[in-house]
């Protein structure tokens, strides 16, 4: 009894589809026993093409993966290349068109296998480096690499992942500190296109709706903020020192007493110091330091934006 066609099986079940097609292949092998191995291969490939055409284009990858898992020895990606008899009945343009239509449905593993086959035939020239053109020039300039210095693709990916993780953590931390330190500041994190993780992901995916300089713009804003917060620590110390000397040194105390019409005795100076020292609370000191850091960071970011 002839087995059911793969097209008769519910196409929502890739496993059942693959099993049905396998039964069809077995039937063809038996019924075509008198044919040459080459002709049997052609018929099996034609059966595969008919079965694929009956499936939704968006789901063909899943069906091919199910088929490859069931029959790992079957070279799905090389149908046209390994079937000279079938190719003889098709024009080269037709074979190429059919191949290109199949490629989007292949898994990553199948794509890699196809690339290797095409490279072996001399149709694909392996890239000397994982990046080229302007991107390569920028990397060489930033790292002071010579043109002949090799860039390994796997190493590039690992190093990029390390830098991305560090930058994402610093970006989140810096803006959280800024939000708490300067809640009323007009300078805010740009999230119109998403956070830094989102815009990086969109840029790597080639999102045409993302402004070309968006990643650079957000990283630059975070860089300036981090630089401002760190550099502002110096002025913060000077600001507190200036405040202390203005109000709490012996000479400053005497000036206050003179302005109030009081005496200059040590006892009076000590009394005035004790009175003024109540202003040296932890909150006042913290506010002074924080205000100086915020002001320095704001000035830096505003001047760089001009």
Q: Can you read off the two tokens belonging to residue 299?
A: 């000035």
At 159 the pLDDT is 93
Q: Is 72 helix (H, G, I), strand (E, B) or coil?
A: coil
**pLDDT over 60 (residue 55):** yes
Q: Calculate the alpha carbon distances from 90 to 54, 236, 245 in Å.
A: 21, 79, 93
**Among the listed residues 79, 62, 84, 83, the one whose alpha carbon sits nearest the alpha carbon of residue 18:** 62
Phi, psi dihedral angles at 148 (to 5 degrees): -85, -5
> How far is 200 from 12, CA to CA, in rounded Å?
35
Q: What is the dihedral of CA 116, 117, 119, 121, to 10 degrees?
A: 160
CA angle, corner 168, sides to 167 and 170, nearest 5? 65
Q: Are 226 and 170 in contact (CB under 8 A)?
A: yes
| Counts of helices then strands in the chain (DSSP H, E) | 14, 0
Q: pTM for this one? A: 0.49
Question: Is 126 in contact with 134 (CB distance < 8 Å)?
Answer: no
| Residue-wise pLDDT tens digits, 192-233 | 999 999 999 999 988 999 998 999 999 999 999 998 888 887
What is d(CA 32, CA 45) in angstroms, rounded to the nearest whole number? 14
Residue 164: both structure tokens together: 């991305």
Q: Please state, in angstroms and rounded to a whole number, the distance separating the CA atoms of residues 58 and 112.
A: 20
Dump pLDDT digits (tens) for 62-88.
Answer: 777 787 777 665 544 444 334 444 444
| Average pLDDT score, the chain | 78
C-alpha of 158 from chain center = 12
- Contact assessment for residue 227 and residue 300, using Cβ atoms and an 8 Å cutoff: yes
Q: In whole angstroms, what is the distance from residue 119 CA to residue 102 CA?
A: 18
Ranges of beta strands (E only) in 223-281 are: none
Cα atoms found within 13 Å of the Cα of residue 163, Cβ hemisphere only: 8
Q: What is the pLDDT of residue 220?
A: 93
The pLDDT value recorded for residue 165 is: 95
d(CA 67, CA 104): 16
pLDDT at 41 over 70: yes
Return the closest-CA partner of residue 45 out of 86, 7, 97. 86
Between CA 210 and CA 192 the distance in angstroms is: 11
The Cα–Cα gap between 93 and 84 comes to 15
| Predicted confidence band of residue 163 (pLDDT cuts 50, 70, 90) | very high
Pair 68, 108: CB distance under 8 Å: no
Which pLDDT band, with edges at 50, 70 and 90, does 171 fall under? Answer: very high
């Amino acid at each position: 009894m002839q087995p059911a066609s793969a097209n008769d099986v519910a196409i929502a079940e890739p496993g059942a589809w693959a099993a049905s097609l396998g039964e069809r292949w077995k039937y063809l092998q038996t019924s075509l026993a008198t044919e040459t191995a080459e002709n049997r291969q052609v018929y099996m490939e034609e059966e595969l093409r008919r079965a694929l055409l009956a499936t939704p284009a968006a789901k063909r990858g899943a069906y091919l993966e199910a088929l490859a898992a069931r029959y790992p020895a079957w070279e799905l990606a090389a149908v046209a290349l390994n079937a000279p008899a079938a190719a003889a009945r098709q024009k080269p343009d037709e074979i190429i068109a059919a191949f290109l239509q199949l490629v989007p449905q292949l898994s990553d593993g199948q794509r890699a296998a196809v690339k290797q086959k095409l490279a072996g035939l001399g149709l694909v020239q392996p890239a000397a480096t994982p990046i080229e053109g302007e991107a390569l020039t920028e990397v060489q300039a930033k790292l002071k690499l010579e043109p002949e210095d090799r860039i390994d693709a796997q190493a590039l990916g690992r190093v990029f992942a390390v830098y991305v993780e560090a930058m994402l953590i610093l970006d989140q931390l810096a803006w959280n500190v800024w939000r708490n330190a300067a809640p009323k500041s007009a300078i805010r994190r740009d999230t119109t296109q998403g956070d830094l993780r989102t815009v990086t992901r969109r840029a790597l995916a080639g999102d045409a709706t993302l402004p070309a300089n968006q990643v650079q713009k957000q990283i630059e804003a975070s860089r300036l903020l981090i630089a401002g917060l760190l550099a502002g620590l110096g002025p913060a110390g000077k600001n507190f020192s200036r405040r202390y000397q203005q109000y709490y040194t012996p000479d400053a105390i005497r000036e206050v007493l003179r302005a109030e019409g009081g005496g200059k005795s040590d006892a009076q100076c000590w009394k005035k110091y004790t009175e003024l020292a109540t202003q040296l609370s932890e909150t006042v000191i913290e506010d002074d330091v924080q205000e100086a850091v915020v002001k320095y960071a704001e000035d830096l970011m505003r001047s760089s934006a001009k």
